[in-house]
Structure formats: C-alpha cells, structure tokens
C-alpha cells in the first residue's frame, strides 16, 4: 500500500511489483540506472506518482544497430535471469542477450544470479550459465 505524506504519495518496490506486475529485479534495475526516478531511504526505494508519469510518458528508446544481430537470434531463444539463493529469489525473462547483459550489469553482486537459456517454442533448457560466464560469452557480441 503506498505511503502518503501530506500530498506526496510514495510507492515502494513491493507496491509497484503488485500494481504493475513487473518483477522486483527489473524495478530495482530501472531505479539504479535512472530509467525510473526514485529515492532510496535506508534500504528501500520509493517512487512518486510524478516519476511514474514521466516514465510512462517518455518515448521508447530507439534500438541501436548493435542490437540487430542479437534480435535475429531472439526468435530462437528466451533468457531467464534468476537469483540462485534465498537472498535473491526473483526471476526476469529477457528477449535478447543485450537485455540480459544490461540487467546483469545493474546488479550489485553478479554471483547471486544465473541465466537459463531456453528454446522459445518449447520449455527445453539449452544451457544454464552463471551470470559472469554469460557476460563473458555474450558480452562481446552485444557490444557490436
């Protein structure tokens, strides 16, 4: 439930996760990167209604040519970024290797994550990689 202080309404990560259906991992990544404006008070992030309106009213970023080779592979695979212990239990699905790398680079401790590569049209797991190994294998490709 959002907190109201006078006229100011503050949304926590949990509030946004419940109301928007976006993973907490993605929300934290957006906040750390500045994609959504927010403030951290103690250990918790808070976002105002104004910040949410800015985010939703902003034009979508144009994809660069460097993303094109990865997008050609996106029809074959999907990528599941997931925490590997009780500290990080969230999962996030990404469409391209570039999206995975961007998400992983926003994380404070890479060793808490792994990437599951799955065939798009089935539930077959092709490979499971530690986050660092994924970046080493796919990082050069995404830089273009």
What digits encode the pLDDT tens for the residues 3-50?
A: 988 999 999 999 999 998 888 888 888 888 788 899 888 888 899 989
Per DSSP, helices labelled H in 21-130 are 24-33, 49-57, 68-73, 97-105
Q: Which domain holds residue 18?
A: 3-57
Cα–Cα distance between 85 and 40 in angstroms, integer? 24
Whether residues 123 and 79 share a domain: the answer is yes
Whether residues 49 and 99 share a domain: the answer is no
Whether residues 105 and 130 share a domain: the answer is yes
Cα–Cα distance between 83 and 45 in angstroms, integer? 20
CATH code (residue 35): 1.10.10
Residue 25, token pair as written in the block: 């991992």
Where a domain ends, among 36, 57, 78?
A: 57
In a domain, 64, yes or no: no
Total domains in the chain come to: 2
CA atoms within 13 A on the CB side of 81: 31
Query: Environment class of residue 34 by beta-carbon count within 10 Å: exposed (0-12), middle (13-18) or buried (19+)?
Result: exposed
The three-class DSSP label of residue 83 is strand
Whether residues 52 and 73 share a domain: the answer is no
Q: What is the pLDDT of residues 52-98, one digit of tens each?
A: 888 888 776 554 444 433 444 446 888 988 888 766 777 888 888 88
Cα torsion 45, 51, 57, 59: sign: negative
Whether residues 86 and 53 share a domain: the answer is no
State the pTM of this model: 0.53
Quote the pLDDT of residue 46: 93
């Amino acid at each position: 439930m959002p907190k109201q202080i006078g006229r100011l309404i503050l949304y926590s990560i949990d509030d946004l996760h419940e109301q928007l259906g976006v993973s907490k991992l993605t929300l934290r990544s957006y906040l750390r990167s500045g994609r959504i404006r927010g403030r951290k008070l103690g250990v918790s992030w808070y976002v105002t209604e104004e910040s949410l309106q800015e985010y939703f009213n902003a034009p979508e970023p144009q994809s660069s040519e460097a993303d094109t080779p990865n997008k050609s592979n996106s029809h074959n695979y999907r990528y599941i970024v997931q925490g590997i212990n009780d500290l990080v239990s969230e999962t996030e699905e990404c469409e391209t290797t570039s999206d995975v790398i961007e998400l992983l680079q926003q994380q404070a401790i890479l060793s808490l994550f792994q990437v599951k590569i799955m065939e798009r049209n089935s539930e077959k797991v092709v490979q499971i990689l530690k986050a660092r190994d994924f970046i080493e294998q796919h990082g050069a490709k995404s830089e273009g």
